[in-house]
Amino acid sequence: MIDIHCHIVPGVDDGSADFAESISMGETAAACGVTDIIVTPHCNIPGSYGNYYGAGYEEAFAELKALFSEKQIELKLHKGMEVFGTDDVGMLYENGRIITLAGSRYMLVEFDFQDDAWRVRDVLLQLLRRGVAPVVAHPERYDMVQYDLQFALDWIGMGCLLQINRTSLLGEPHSPAAAAAERLLSLGAVHAVATDAHGVFTRTTELIDAFDHIAGSYSEEWASTLLKETPRRIIENRRVRRLPRIEGDWNY
């Protein structure tokens, strides 16, 4: 399995607090069958985490990679970030301040849970017009998607990918996020499932339970597509499989 969304770089955001926690997160992931992790520290959050790409990012990534090698944690780490979608995201990309997932054309993008639908659309279009394919992080957590799935389906129609969180499938079963995640899954309107791991106690790197949930509720093939095949295609910068349509359209 491949985790494309993980806050495992220590001390840079609200994820791993230190190297000891990062080691535990890595060991847990490897023990569960994860082979690759794209590290995705929060980036570009106004008034909060900057974490723009540069020497500091490279140093932190190299340190973590060296530590995993020293501890013989058999995980391949890839560069990435979870970019907060601000109105200047297009220029930030052109200036090299934000990066894609594993050097591919795919970029993990998040928004405020109460964000405006038209503003989100504009941010996504800024990236698409520059040849970047946005991977919308945890759409099931956004108010607009919980109210009407069509917002998320329209993003797919634009050329974006959707990544839902492991905890949305395995957490509170009757929460709005869980309901939205399951509805998107039932429509086949999901490209990838990831941990969005932040530590060793909550939002952990145990991706295998998400695989088992999807395999049991839907099919093992669907689970493999979401946690193995599509993440691998993202890392290799290959075109992902087109999602199936429901009766020729996204009607639900």
- Mark 193-203 as b/e (b = at least 16 C-beta within 10 Å): bbbbbbbbeeb
Tens-digit pLDDT string for the chain (252 aa): 999 999 999 999 999 999 999 999 999 999 999 999 999 999 999 988 999 999 999 999 999 999 999 999 999 999 999 999 999 999 999 999 999 999 999 999 999 999 999 999 999 999 999 999 999 999 999 999 999 999 999 999 999 999 999 999 997 777 999 999 999 999 999 999 999 999 998 889 999 999 999 999 999 999 999 999 999 999 999 999 776 554 444 443
Question: Both tokens of residue 142?
Answer: 């956004």
Q: Give the whole-angstrom CA distance, residue 215 versus residue 211.
A: 6
In sequence order, the 6+-apart residues with CB closer than 8 A to the CB of 55 are: none
Give the residue from 127, 125, 83 showing the smallest Cα distance to 101: 83
User: Letter for the amino acid at 217?
Assistant: S
Residue 89 to residues 86, 117, 224, Cα–Cα distance (Å)? 5, 16, 32
Q: What predicted TM-score, i.e. pTM, was given to this entire model? A: 0.95
Write out pLDDT tens, residues 163-176: 999 999 997 777 99
pLDDT tens, position by position, 118-158: 999 999 999 999 999 999 999 999 999 999 999 999 999 99
